[in-house]
Every structure is written in C-alpha cells, then in structure tokens.
Amino acid sequence: MPTLDVAVVALLAGLLIATVLYETGPRWRVVRALFRLGLVPQWSFFAPAPGTQNLYLLYRDLTANGDVTVWRVVHGMDENRPPWSFVWNPRRRIRKALLDLILALELGREEMGPDVLKLSTPYLLILNHLSRLPRPPGALATEFLVMVSNPNQSPRVAFQSERHRL
C-alpha cells in the first residue's frame, strides 16, 4: 500500500477514534483541543435543550471612497421556509453549515482569546464564505456580525469581527 494511502487511512481512523471518544468517553484534554479547533465533528442527534433563539449572520463592506454599506443578512438566514421545504430544500445545507459555524464560533469565543479566535476554523470559514459573496464595486474590506434574536427580547449583537481586506 502506498505511503500516502496509509497516511490518509491513519488520519481518518484517528479522527474516527477522536470523535467516538468525544461523544462517548471522558472529555480528554487532547480531544477537547481538537474539538475547539473544529477538527472533530460533534453529533447531536438528540439535543438536550431545544433551540430557543434565532441566529443571524450579517455582513457589510467598506468601499474605496470610505463609505460603509448597510448590514446585509447572509442569504437564506432570514427567510421563512416554504411548506414544501421538508421535501425539497436545497438551501438547508448552507444554512445548517452557517448555523453550525456560528455556534462553534460562540463556543470558541468563550474559550479562546480574540487573537486566537481569528485563526479558528469557524471564523476563517465564515470569513471565506462571506468574502466570496457578490460585492458592490470598489469594496475594499468586509466585516461580519452575529445577531441573536429571542422571542421576548430585543435582538442583540453576540459577536462582531474586525474588518478584513477583500
């Protein structure tokens, strides 16, 4: 078996073992560190607490003339789903991925400092996704924020990034 094949199999086996240990065993320090970096998936088939809030990802740009655009909600995060979405909903994957990244970012924010958080997998994936969205002409930089909305409270900003060059 070629060396590359052995390395890939070993890596995947290691991730599988780390995932199983994280989900079923004690929360070992190494496994927790891998989870914080976003390298070990977390599965929650039966959530212990239902979702009680709505999360929104917004972004805005800084243009060449110094103007800042209005905050825009990332596609699909503010839409009500049509009745047939339980059968056909192609946007659910991107929406679910963004929600998972936001939750991982929130978890990381509590455990990491701001400089380390900017290098975390969730932060970089969100920034990468937002950087690829259509922009107004002359956009130089972008920033994003996470907004939390509860049924009986006013919406609040949970996290705001720094500006990043496009």
Q: Which tens digits make up the pLDDT trace of 26-38?
A: 655 666 666 666 6
Q: What percent of the chain has pLDDT over 70?
A: 75
Q: What is the pLDDT of residue 112?
A: 78
Q: What is the pLDDT of residue 2?
A: 84
Same domain, 90 and 150: yes
User: Which alpha helices (H) appear in 25-143, and where do they start and end?
Assistant: 29-36, 92-111, 114-117, 121-131
pLDDT at residue 23, rounded to an integer = 65
Q: In this structure, are residues 85 and 92 in contact, taking their beta carbons and an 8 Å threshold? A: yes
84 shares a domain with 25? no
| Stronger pLDDT, 20 or 135, i.e. the higher one | 135
Q: Is the domain of 115 the same as that of 157?
A: yes
User: Are 61 and 28 part of one and the same domain?
Assistant: no
| Lowest-pLDDT choice from 33-37, 72-76, 81-85, 95-99 | 33-37
pTM here is 0.64
